[in-house]
Amino acid sequence: MSQAHSNLHRSAWADWWEGTRRTDIWWTLAWFDIVLRYRRSMLGPLWLTLSMGAMIAGMGPLYSSLFGTNLSKFFPHLTLGLIFWGLFSAMVTEGCNAFIGSAHYLKQGYFPISLFVWRSMSRNLIQFLHQVVLYIPVALWAGISLSWSALLVIPAFVLLLINAHAIGLVLGLVCTRFRDVTQIVTSLMQMLMFLTPVFWMPEGLPGRARYILWNPFAQMLDLLRTPLMGGTATLHSWLGILGWTAGGLVIATLLFAKYRRRVVYWL
């Protein structure tokens, strides 16, 4: 009892670090989430790869014809767009339920709440790894030649994880208190999918519509996709994401420090 009391009254930083450093717990929980989801399935998580591959194979030639774009250029663009958008969408929407879905753990004993945000992120990363392998045959078919600039995808992915964790903390807290926000976020992500260059090429936008590219998901997609297509992301995208990251960290820190102890009472 005294241990639980001391844990609940530790600083916000110590509370966050306690959840973050327990990789053995949140990675194991994430892995078992995947195992349980595909229990009794013959192919297991490979269904993720097959379903995404079927979607890409069906949409690639169709949208290439609709937009009048060369298939060898559009196919890798669409492939990476769908794969990364799937990761973005899952990180955000499942972040809303990071604490609600872990209520039985939080009600039975003390757990740092950041642990369950990492659990949600890890589960989505495992799913992402099953899908990103589809990029390899597409890149070989399209003849994409990578340069050293492809390594820029590493710091871009680190920025993605930082933002995903901040968003997970914010949405996890807000959606636990106000359950309707989950539906709002889900609808918003569906709309943003069409405002982000997943299916269409950014260079096809008319001048007055290019403000759409200030969308943070469009900027993050540019940082991750462009290096893997042999190009270099724009400075606009780097500066934009750094700004969004700084703002997200400030909001997440303030909300986490003030409301982290109330989560168990909101469940």
For residue 70, what pLDDT is reported? Answer: 81
Residue 129 CB partners (closer than 8 Å, separation 6+) = none
The stretch 178-188 carries a mean pLDDT of 93
Q: Is the pLDDT of residue 254 over 90?
A: yes
Q: Is the pLDDT of residue 143 over 60?
A: yes
Instruction: Work out whether the CA dihedral 124, 128, 75, 209 comes out positive or negative.
Output: positive
For residue 168, what pLDDT is reported? Answer: 94
Query: Look-up: residue for tokens 């290096």?
Result: 227
State which amino acid sits at residue 5. H
For residue 105, what pLDDT is reported? Answer: 87
Lowest mean pLDDT among 119-133, 166-180, 208-222, 245-259: 208-222
**pLDDT band, very low/low/confident/very high, at 2 (cuts 50, 70, 90):** very low
Q: Is the pLDDT of residue 209 over 70?
A: no
**pLDDT band, very low/low/confident/very high, at 111 (cuts 50, 70, 90):** confident
**pLDDT band, very low/low/confident/very high, at 92 (cuts 50, 70, 90):** very high
For residue 8, what pLDDT is reported? Answer: 56
Q: Which residues of 178-209 are buried (b: 16+ CB within 10 A; e: fewer)?
A: eeeebeebeeebeebbeebbbbbebeeeeeee
80 in Cβ contact with 135 (< 8 Å): yes
Map out the domains of the chain as residue ranges.
12-266
Lowest mean pLDDT among 43-47, 134-138, 182-186: 43-47
DSSP 8-state secondary structure symbol assigned to residue 160: H
- Cα–Cα distance for residue pair 104/198, rounded to 1 Å: 37
For residue 108, what pLDDT is reported? Answer: 82
- Cα–Cα distance for residue pair 136/145, rounded to 1 Å: 12
